[in-house]
Amino acid sequence: MTTTTTKTSLLFTLAGLSIMGVTARADAYSDAVLAQNPVMYYRFQTGFGESGSTVINSGSTGATINGTASAASILNTTGGPSGITHPGFQTNNLAATFNGSDNVTLSQSDVRSALNGSSAVTVEMWLNTSDATVWQNLFSLAGNKGNALKIDLGPSGRIQVGSRRSDASVYKEITIWPAFTANTWFHLAIVIDYENATLSLFKNGALYGASQTIDWGQTDTNTTLSVSSTATQPTLGSTLKGQLDEMAIYNSGLTAAQIVAHYQASLTTSSVPEPATVSLLLGLGTLALVASRRLIARCR
């Protein structure tokens, strides 16, 4: 009887472990991003062949700032960073694909509520452009006197960031040359610190050059970002030619240590089981439960 009880306990333990396996984290990279509480986080992760145009927001503001793709074909067609080069993503990671005219629109009023008055803003993403010779818009957010924040890719591997602080009449742009190449995934993070008047650009976790001093909004009374209630909808990828993935927007300034930790997470093997593994674990759990019941029945 003792032997039977021991075996039964072991089988129940195996079943429990098997079922517990399916609750593992999504992947190392998204865990690192979510730990910093982005207000918006678009993973473009649904499934190949699925229809629909909703872009799910996994950030703290949730479904209120879900995006809407101008064409369903933007979604569920292309793989994102993953595999040997970026094991921190699940192997079936997906990205959004833009053709130079499609975009993803966001709710102006809800973005305004999420970002208005922020003393710093961070925009983080993974990019893979198919054309490094033309201007392409990655993110555009209208403000009370024009663009509040705009990020563009430019010819010859340049990135241009433009912004203003609240009530600023002058819009200025800064161009940085991190020398990205076409058809290659890279991680980009841009931190605009309105309070301390600095702009920092990180490529693949490393600060590119030095933080730039910004003079956006010299006539301001407030050193914060202002998003207009009458401006047009914010957009992602409105003229991008290529893929965009893991777009995260924060109403705070990430530190250099946090950004490098995010990039390093993309290189860290994720512990999440693949779908086939999950099925196997569930199957083993079911078999273990059935076997344990049979053992109990025999003991009666």
pLDDT tens, position by position, 45-99: 876 656 678 999 999 999 999 999 888 888 888 899 999 999 999 988 999 999 9
Q: CA separation (Å) from 55 to 67, 103, 106, 131, 231? A: 5, 11, 9, 24, 21
Q: Which residues contact 295 (CB under 8 A, 6 or more apart)?
A: 4, 7, 8, 11
Which helix (DSSP H) or strand (DSSP E) does residue 187 occupy? strand 186-193
* Bridge partners of residue 140, in order along the sequence: 150, 235
Q: Is 280 helix (H, G, I), strand (E, B) or coil?
A: helix
88 and 203 Cβ atoms separated by less than 8 Å: no
Query: 26-272: what fold?
Result: Jelly Rolls (2.60.120)
pLDDT tens digits along 243-268: 999 999 999 999 999 999 999 999 99
Three-state SS annotation for 98-140:
EECCCCEECCHHHHHHHHCCCCEEEEEEEEEECCCCCCEEEEE
Predicted confidence (pLDDT) at residue 30 exceeds the cutoff of 90: yes
**End-to-end Cα, the chain, rounded Å:** 10
| Inter-helix orientation angle 2-20/275-299, to 10° | 160
pLDDT tens digits along 163-211: 876 666 667 788 888 888 899 999 999 998 888 888 999 999 999 988 8
Q: What is the pTM of this model?
A: 0.79
pLDDT tens digits along 100-115: 888 898 888 898 889 8
At 253, which amino acid appears?
Answer: G
Q: Which residues contact 193 (CB under 8 A, 6 or more apart)?
A: 119, 120, 199, 200, 253
